[in-house]
Structure 1
Amino acid sequence: MFERSPFQRGPEGGGLSKMLSANPAMWTVLAINVAYFLLLELAGGSENVEVLIKYGAKYGPDIADGDYWRLVTPVFMHIGAFHLLANSISLLIFGGIVERSYGWRAFLALYLAAGVAGNVASYAAGPTVGAGASGAIFGMLGAFAVYLYLNRSLLGSSAPGSLGGLALIIIVNVSLGLTTTGVDNWAHLGGLIAGTAIALRLSPRATTEITYGLNRRLVRTQAVVRQASMATIGTATVTAFAVLILITVLISLGDSDGNRDLTENLTGRAITALLEERFDEASSLARRALLADPENDSLAILYLIKGLGESQQGNTDDAIQDLTRALAYGFTNPESRALAQNELSRLTGR
């Protein structure tokens, strides 16, 4: 689908050393992603919410309190092996093309800025925990599209076909995101917009170089691509991050109060659902409250509700884990503590 551009410098063949030398930044990012994933797995699991928050996932309440670094670290984090595998394949394909076209410095600027922009968009959409390189990869798609469009005269017939293929990939991914649960469409959109916008400044552009000989006789003309200078890359990157931080600060105004209100609302609804024996709904509401603010003052009650709900649904292992956490956080109400202890004893037989 994507024909090779004359100035996408990459290995036509050869071994591992040529592959690494063609895309040093992409391979470095991929290695960081894998290392981060292994760290999460060793720390308790890359799908464990508490582990994700502890090790730097996007988490609204902490960002609202000034942890802006949480907009950067999730770009290198992944939730589960399939998430890592899917993004790694996309990075190998599109990241490699962008790095060979733009150069490694511009690639890193685009990857980070698009990834952070995706997290800012996701943060604006809600306080839930999130991680992944999807925003950065959508930024790669936007950057490649800009590259193809600006150099379409030199690329010839390959440009329209490649642009059409990119459009199809974006449409398919957006459609899957809208019809599949657990997909952060706002992160995808934010990354795509940021990557496209920054690429308009950083994209290499084809120019015609004319060579003259003696008596100013024309010797030859050739198409030459000129990549963005260090100064241009630096200015564009600093500007992008300044804008993104400003947007984050504006979003954060009043956000902490909003998260607390949301948690209180979900907790109240979870208690009501439990009392009415709607156990599945009670567990779901408690889980949402924990995601919205896992450091609130009702952790023991929320884990108790979730544990009782899981128990009634036959999810014994999850119920034991939740009830143990509830007791660890401690109850001010003796009746609630006794309820958690009795249910835990029943499940464990002790």
Structure 2
Amino acid sequence: MTQRSGQAGDGTGGPVPTTPVCYRHPDRETYVRCSRCDRPICPECMREASVGHQCPECVSEGRRSVRPARTAFGGGAAGRHGYVTKTLIALNVLVMLLSIASDRGGDAAAGGSGFGGLMGGGTPLTDWGAVLGQAILPDGTIGGIAEGQWYRLVTAMFLHYGVVHLLLNMWALWVLGRTLEAALGPLRFLALYLIAGLGGNVAVYLFSAPNSTAVGASTAIFGLFAAIFVIMRRLGRDTSAILPILVINLVFTFTVPGISIAGHLGGLVTGALMALVLAYAPRMRRTVFQVAGGAIILVALLGLALVRTGMLPGG
């Protein structure tokens, strides 16, 4: 018997094939490869793809190259989570707690004049942040916005006269807000809410009786009522269920004492205008048109407030 020394082989004289190992885990053998870059990947590294499996790096690269999903009106798909709606509700609840705390045992939560006293009364915080009708005080002097307190146009939409007042508005915001935020996206929905609320508060300043004060998210809520009607019509959906609710709210506005007619109608009209801008912006330059339209409405509202201030004695 003759023995020869040399390298072991596969019987054909070549080297023995080695088993592939995962490129991220060299101690793991695998015969699966990334369908995109062809690198070996173990079960821990596999990511389901439309065809085969991909490695984590290829999945991340693919996500960066894909355009984010947009709504029919150009908004981000994140609106389906309702983050803005939830944040607005939380902010209103927080401000209500601060308002009650500022009253030091008064009638902030209940005991006011509306709904048999259940609406709650004023507090130092509502006095600070409410919109004063025509900026005229009981003694005939001017105050509020006319004295440069422009913050009231914003703060008033986050303050409420009592817990019942808050709950009614937050229920409406929860129902309307999630639908509109999903359709418009977070930023466009937030712009709609704030501009509608601002429009209602400007209307309070312009048209409410002197020395009357108004607070509440209902200025923005009425804007959402108008907006959901416009948005649903633009999408070709049935709006028959929306009209009765809107009519009922308008009946309450005109019949229940203590409700700001100017604030509700101002929010309704402003919300409708903003919704028209968002819904009917031309597709090719949609964002530019929407931003410009919102800016025009905002400037017009502030201009009306400035004109009103200039008409006051000493303005």
**TM tier relative to shorter chain:** 0.5 to 0.7
Residue 38 of structure 1 pairs with residue 97 of structure 2: yes
Count residues in correspondence.
214
Residue 166 of structure 1 pairs with residue 239 of structure 2: no
C-alpha distance in structure 1 between counterparts of 2:88 and 2:248, whole Å = 25
Pick aligned residue for 2:152 from 46, 67, 70: 70
Q: Partner of 1:24 in structure 2?
A: 83
Residue 83 of structure 1 pairs with residue 165 of structure 2: yes
Q: Partner of 1:250 in structure 2?
A: 307
**Partner AA of 1:78 in structure 2:** H
C-alpha distance in structure 1 between counterparts of 2:285 and 2:192, whole Å = 12
SS in 2 for 1:88: helix
CA contact (8 A) 2:80 2:182 kept: no
Pick aligned residue for 2:174 from 80, 87, 92: 92
TM-aligned CA distance change 1:101 to 1:147, over 3 Å = same
C-alpha distance in structure 1 between counterparts of 2:308 and 2:214, whole Å = 17
C-alpha distance in structure 1 between counterparts of 2:218 and 2:293, whole Å = 21
C-alpha distance in structure 1 between counterparts of 2:255 and 2:235, whole Å = 35
C-alpha distance in structure 2 between counterparts of 1:198 and 1:20, whole Å = 18
Report how far residue 249 of structure 1 moved.
1.0
Residue 115 of structure 1 pairs with residue 191 of structure 2: no
Q: Partner of 2:228 in structure 1?
A: 144
C-alpha distance in structure 2 between counterparts of 1:52 and 1:82, whole Å = 15
Q: Partner of 1:196 in structure 2?
A: 272
Report the aligned-residue RMSD: 2.6
C-alpha distance in structure 1 between counterparts of 2:149 and 2:285, whole Å = 32
**Partner AA of 1:200 in structure 2:** L
Q: Partner of 1:239 in structure 2?
A: 296
SS in 2 for 1:43: helix
CA contact (8 A) 2:253 2:264 kept: no
Q: Partner of 1:181 in structure 2?
A: 257
Report how far residue 49 of structure 1 moved.
4.8
CA contact (8 A) 2:79 2:186 kept: no
**Partner AA of 1:234 in structure 2:** V
**Partner AA of 1:172 in structure 2:** I
C-alpha distance in structure 2 between counterparts of 1:194 and 1:95, whole Å = 16
Report how far residue 204 of structure 1 moved.
7.0
Report how far residue 227 of structure 1 moved.
11
C-alpha distance in structure 2 between counterparts of 1:237 and 1:181, whole Å = 33
CA contact (8 A) 1:143 1:203 kept: no
Report how far residue 228 of structure 1 moved.
8.6
TM-aligned CA distance change 1:230 to 1:22, over 3 Å = same
Q: Which has the higher helix share?
A: 1
Report how far residue 251 of structure 1 moved.
1.5
Q: Which runs of 5+ in 1 are unaligned?
A: 1-6, 9-18, 208-225, 259-350
CA contact (8 A) 1:75 1:131 kept: yes
C-alpha distance in structure 1 between counterparts of 2:279 and 2:206, whole Å = 28
C-alpha distance in structure 2 between counterparts of 1:129 and 1:57, whole Å = 6
- Provide, for residues 220-255 of structure 1, a one-character-per-residue CA deviation record: whole Å limited to 9, x for no partner: xxxxxx799543443233222111010011112243
Structure showing greater Rg: 2
CA contact (8 A) 1:118 1:187 kept: yes
TM-aligned CA distance change 1:228 to 1:135, over 3 Å = farther
TM-score, length-normalised on structure 1? 0.56
**Partner AA of 2:205 in structure 1:** Y
**Partner AA of 1:178 in structure 2:** F
TM-score, length-normalised on structure 2? 0.62
Q: Partner of 1:52 in structure 2?
A: 126
C-alpha distance in structure 2 between counterparts of 1:203 and 1:97, whole Å = 14
TM-aligned CA distance change 1:228 to 1:138, over 3 Å = farther
TM-aligned CA distance change 1:143 to 1:114, over 3 Å = same
Report how far residue 190 of structure 1 moved.
0.7
Report how far residue 28 of structure 1 moved.
0.8
Q: Partner of 2:138 in structure 1?
A: none
TM-aligned CA distance change 1:20 to 1:108, over 3 Å = closer
CA contact (8 A) 1:202 1:227 kept: no
SS in 2 for 1:143: helix
